Amino acid sequence: MKKVKLSKIIKYGKIEKKVDLKTLTSLQIGGVADYVVQPSDLEECFKLLQYVQKNKIPYMILGNGTNVLCSDDAYHGVVIKMGKLFASMQHDQEWFQVESGCALSQFIRYAIQNGYGGLEGLMGIPGSLGGAVRMNAGAFGYTISDYLQGVMYLDGDTIYYKKKEECDFGYRHSVFCDHKEWLILRIDFSLPQKTENSDQILKECMEKRLKSQELAYPSAGSVFKRNDLLPAPVSKIIDDMGLKGYRIGGAMISQKHAGFFINFASASSQNMKDLIQYVQDLVWEKYQVRLETEIEML
Ligand SMILES: Cc1cc2nc3c(=O)[nH]c(=O)nc-3n(C[C@H](O)[C@H](O)[C@H](O)COP(=O)(O)OP(=O)(O)OC[C@H]3O[C@@H](n4cnc5c(N)ncnc54)[C@H](O)[C@@H]3O)c2cc1C
């Protein structure tokens, strides 16, 4: 890659060369990226995005890496990692402003400690706020967009703000899915006061998660989106086809939750893709329904 003088742009953040993306994704799959850059403030985000876009340097954005399947090939570009260096939280009564690198669970805990709730059911989703907003993450009837007021994001050298109604939130979808080049910077919420049930809901949702989800092996959560054309939840359909434990190379359908595909033994990206395709084909043959992936291929 020519002309990369990232150190001129990133003074307080972090620049790493030749980073194995296995170490940055919950599936622990991925090739080596030329650069991983963690900006630490608005100015660094701004200069970095401007720089890669202007110089036509390939880039991709990563939050906590818990909803992605990265290719095994080397990535000749810049991975912009939004993490704990860009994760401040502020609030004034019920108004909360959170930077996109903040971990979702950390934000929920912060809100509750300050007397506000509304997002209890999302506790335990292992992503960052930016990733959660982009995917409109949800669980147990709660979604991240429930109390969201607006999103500040960056494209090229301009900062924009979208109000909730402009974000096109739907099931595991937002306008940010259609614009992979946009960098989500800050999310604003107006949260309701926590209730006497908040702690109990938090506890129950965490218990349900621990009981039902596969947490012993690397995964990216549910592989497929819900599909209302099927007669049952996708995980039950896969289970009923007798596929729990089915393996291709090191990729396996979890024995505990058939919606989770795990990296059982040094799976390659291709192993995981083949397993996904295999299940998609079987479901198509049986139900003429095309399963859509929830995880993103990067
Ligand atoms: C064990 C486990 C359980 C899970 N349970 C749930 C669940 O109950 N409900 C649920 O909805 N999901 C669940 N997930 C999936 C995942 O945690 C969520 O989708 C999460 O919100 C993804 O956030 P992330 O920061 O990890 O995003 P990443 O995986 O890093 O990125 C996901 C997408 O968002 C983009 N992105 C990330 N940050 C930004 C940003 N700042 N600006 C622009 N684009 C960005 C990336 O480019 C990528 O396309 C689970 C995953 C695991 C491993």
pLDDT at residue 156 in the model: 81
Residues spanned by CATH 3.30.465.10 within the chain?
87-199
28 Cβ closer than 6 Å to some ligand 1 atom? no
**Catalytic one of 172, 198, 214, 269:** 172
- List every span in the chain annotated with CATH 3.90.78.10: 215-297
Active site (annotated) includes residue 222: yes
Q: How many Å apart are CA 77 and CA 96, to the nearest integer? A: 34
Q: Confirm or reject: Cβ of 38 under 6 Å from ligand 1.
A: no
CATH code assigned to 6-84: 3.30.43.10
At the second CATH level, the architecture of 215-297 is Alpha-Beta Complex (3.90)
Which residues are CB-contacts of 250 (< 8 A; sequence separation ≥ 6)? 263, 264, 265, 266, 267, 268, 271
**Annotation says 181 is catalytic:** no
pLDDT tens sequence for the chain (298 residues): 544 588 889 999 999 999 999 999 999 999 999 999 999 999 999 999 999 998 999 999 999 999 999 999 999 999 999 999 999 999 999 999 999 999 999 999 999 999 999 999 999 999 999 999 999 999 998 999 999 999 999 998 799 999 999 999 999 999 999 999 999 999 999 999 999 888 899 999 999 999 888 888 999 999 999 999 999 999 999 999 999 999 999 999 999 999 999 999 999 999 999 999 999 999 999 999 999 999 999 8
**The pTM is what?**
0.94
The reported pLDDT for the residue numbered 5 is 83
> Where are the CATH 3.30.43.10 domain residues in the chain?
6-84
Give the pLDDT score at 3: 47
Residues whose CB falls within 8 Å of the CB of residue 61, separated by 6 or more in sequence, listed in order: 79, 80, 82, 130, 180, 183
Give the Å distance between the CA of 133 and the centre of ligand 1.
Answer: 8
Asked whether 67 lines ligand 1 (CB < 6 A), one says yes
Among the listed residues 128, 198, 222, 254, the single catalytic one is 222
Dihedral angle, C-alpha 166, 169, 173, 175, nearest 10 °? 0
Beta-ladder partners of 78: 35, 59
Say yes or no: CB of residue 126 within 6 Å of ligand 1: yes
In eight-state DSSP terms, residue 202 is H
Query: Which amino acid would we find at residue 145?
Result: S
DSSP 216-262: SS---SBSB---TTSSS-HHHHHHHTT-TT-EETTEEE-SS-TTBEE
87-199: which CATH topology?
Answer: 3.30.465
Q: How far is the CA of 135 from the centre of ligand 1 (A)?
A: 6
Active site residue 186: no
Q: How far apart are the first and last CA of the chain?
A: 19
Q: Is the CB of 220 under 6 A from ligand 1?
A: yes
